[in-house]
Chain A
Amino acid sequence: MTVAVNPTQTGEPLFYLADEHPHPEGYSTSLGFWIYLMSDCLIFAMLFATFGVLGANYAAGPAPKDLFDLDLVAVNTSMLLLSSITYGFAMLTMQQNKVAQTQIWLAITGLFGLAFIGIELTEFAHMIHEGATPQRSAFLSAFFTLVGTHGLHVTCGIIWLVTLMVQVGKFGLIEANRRRLMCLSMFWHFLDVVWIGVFTFVYLLGVLR
């Protein structure tokens, strides 16, 4: 990066960054996507802060101990962990240019994601059936907002995953699809990182309280 001074005929000096060499398509995508993830991280930090402030305000309603089934949460956590490692395998097979295997690992990842969402929705339905609705207490409002936002992210991730499977099926592992799979990989693992915070601070510390 050099400052070009006066390459013109008029004699007037020109000051600008002569950084105009062409970039390959998508060369900045992973950094841009990382910055998006960091901003998403701030959203979750705010929701965690809200939960931290309101998490003990039960309004004489049910407390975490009455509501949470840690066995179910453990199963749910393992679903997400397994989906992380299967996505890792999808990335590894992608690096070896094996289209069919990549598709299989992506499909398995999607199924684990669906299992996670299914278990979470079952848990929500069970809680709502017991009268622990989001409007019951500040604790439950914060709980449903935080865990629901995470679940919404996972749902979007699954939709994205299916989209990319169609893309890979149509066009193969072209450079653009590799880049997209790379971004989804970051997104998917990031959601797993957020889930670590959720099961620790919401479920485990909630039951401990």
Chain B
Amino acid sequence: MSTDTHAAGAHDHHHDDGHAHSTFSGYMLGFVLSVVLTAIPFWLVMSGVLPSKQITALVIMAFAVVQIVVHMVYFLHMNAKSENGWTMMALIFTIVMVVIALSGSLWVMSHLNSNMMPIHQMSGMK
């Protein structure tokens, strides 16, 4: 970013803000990739071309993960160097928390659900 007017040149070790690298080609590449990665899952679900629902579900989840990474890299300009790596640290910590919370909730609650007494038996006990 050549026109950037950072006030202090004295601060060498705080300079890489991570937002200095946005370019037209970067945004366009990210946009085209996002459009493709959005269009394919919609098409898969709307046309139902894949033989089973499980496969379709797995494929569109994989597309979502890839698209999230694309957005992180091309739109949010994530890299391991910005802010001396602290943004990446915060992101990794958050991902760990999210994975634990999501997988834990779904796992525990599905077990609870499958071990609960079905409703028709419960109404018979009244």
A: residues with CB less than 8 A from B are: 23-25, 27, 30-31, 34-35, 38, 41-42, 45-46, 48-50, 52-53, 70, 73-74, 77-78, 81, 84-85, 88-89, 91-92, 95-97, 175, 178, 182, 185-186, 189-190, 192-193, 196-197, 199-201, 204-205, 207-209
Residues of chain B within 8 A (CB-CB) of A201 are 61, 64
Residues of chain A within 8 A (CB-CB) of B93 are 38
B contact patch SS = helix
Residues of chain A within 8 A (CB-CB) of B98 are 41-42, 45
A contact patch SS = helix
Residues of chain A within 8 A (CB-CB) of B76 are 186, 189-190, 193
Residues of chain B within 8 A (CB-CB) of A199 are 38
CA distance A24 to B1 in the complex (A): 18
Among the listed A53, A73, A85, which residue makes an inter-chain contact with B106, where contact means beta carbons less than 8 Å apart? A53
| Interface footprint category on B | 35 or more
Known: A24-B11, A46-B101, A81-B34. A95 touches B71 (CB 8 A): no
The answer to whether B17 and A96 touch across the interface, beta carbons within 8 angstroms, is no
The answer to whether A95 and B60 touch across the interface, beta carbons within 8 angstroms, is no
Most chain B CB atoms below 10 A, which of A50, A96, A200: A200
Smallest CB–CB gap between A202 and chain B, Å?
A: 11
The answer to whether B83 and A207 touch across the interface, beta carbons within 8 angstroms, is no
Query: Which residues of chain B from 13 to 29 have any CB-CB distance to chain A below 8 Å in the complex?
Result: 14, 17-19, 22-24, 27-28
Q: Pick the 7 closest A-B CB pairs, nearest first.
A: A88-B27, A200-B64, A49-B105, A189-B75, A45-B98, A38-B94, A53-B109
The answer to whether A49 and B90 touch across the interface, beta carbons within 8 angstroms, is no
Residues of chain A within 8 A (CB-CB) of B102 are 45, 48-49, 52
CA distance A88 to B31 in the complex (A): 10
Task: Say whether B80 faces chain A, with CB atoms less than 8 Å apart.
Answer: no
Task: Say whether B3 faces chain A, with CB atoms less than 8 Å apart.
Answer: yes
Residues of chain B within 8 A (CB-CB) of A189 are 71, 75-76
Residues of chain B within 8 A (CB-CB) of A73 are 42
Smallest CB–CB gap between A192 and chain B, Å?
A: 6
CA distance A12 to B13 in the complex (A): 32
The answer to whether B97 and A42 touch across the interface, beta carbons within 8 angstroms, is yes
The answer to whether B24 and A31 touch across the interface, beta carbons within 8 angstroms, is no
The answer to whether A208 and B72 touch across the interface, beta carbons within 8 angstroms, is no
CA distance A89 to B71 in the complex (A): 15
The answer to whether A175 and B5 touch across the interface, beta carbons within 8 angstroms, is yes
Residues of chain B within 8 A (CB-CB) of A85 are 27-28, 30-31
Smallest CB–CB gap between A178 and chain B, Å?
A: 8
Among the listed A31, A45, A178, which residue makes an inter-chain contact with B101, where contact means beta carbons less than 8 Å apart? A45
